[in-house]
Amino acid sequence: MKCNSGTDKPHFRTRRHLYYALVRTLHQGSEATAIHSARPSLPLELIIQILRDAECAVLSRLSRHVGGPTDEAHEVALGTIYPQIFPSPDLAKTGWPLPVVNGGELSPWKDIGSLCDVFSVGSNPIRKYWFSSAPLSARDLANMHSVQLLTRSRDQGWVNNPNAGSWSWFDIVLIPKWGDRSEAREHSWLSHNNGPPASTMRRRAGTVFEPNHDIWQLAQVGDRIGVRACAQFGGWRNVATMALLIFQEYFIPTFVPQ
């Protein structure tokens, strides 16, 4: 069973409200009725394990938004963004919403200039680092559920051979802590490409790197998770004006609501 807060008529303002309601119900138990048998009260330690097995996750402090209407270098943490706008299912199937902070959209969807622009003139791939998370802590690694990159991006808008694939893409990169490991080696994985070709910016959602992904087996305290824009072969381009790097962590209740 997995936690799912993506209902048409939500009864809770955020995932945290829903999860704390579950914590209270499981911790209090219930008496027997004519229809249901009694349910014993569960200790908090067992409730935490149940929530983890059900993959109940919330937005992590590591999440980042890059892009904005006034400053091309604008970047903010997503600590005040309502968690329910980031449902657990792969967002690529349904599109993705604007971030909401204090009841308003974080920024409007309009072209604000190229925050990231990669252009290839040859056969060798061109890779450009864009931004990264804060360093991972021991708590982050112990509780991390997933990471997903969302971009507003495009390629050059045309191709000579539509069957040759897309050579404009984004990587998720595990950046080792500087000087922490001998023979430290950077690891990277494909998030998503900019196909099909488009001359206008489009919202695009990358792969969800879930708990069993290699990135969580390789990551160590002090490492950062970054985003890299790439293009390969003459004429290919990768242009982006906004990105969301969404980290979700397992929900761990800090108290039992009464």
DSSP conformational letter for 39: B
Report pTM.
0.76
Q: What is the mean pLDDT of residues 224-240?
A: 92
* Range of lowest pLDDT (28-42, 68-82, 161-175): 68-82
Going from the C-alpha of 25 to that of each of 43, 49, 53, 88, the distances in angstroms are 12, 15, 17, 23
Q: How far apart are the first and last CA of the chain?
A: 26
pLDDT digits (tens, 9 = 90+) for 193-222: 998 778 888 888 899 999 999 999 999 999
Tens-place pLDDT, residues 154-172: 988 887 777 677 889 999 9
| pLDDT interval class at 115 (50, 70, 90) | confident
Distance CA 251, CA 113 (A): 37
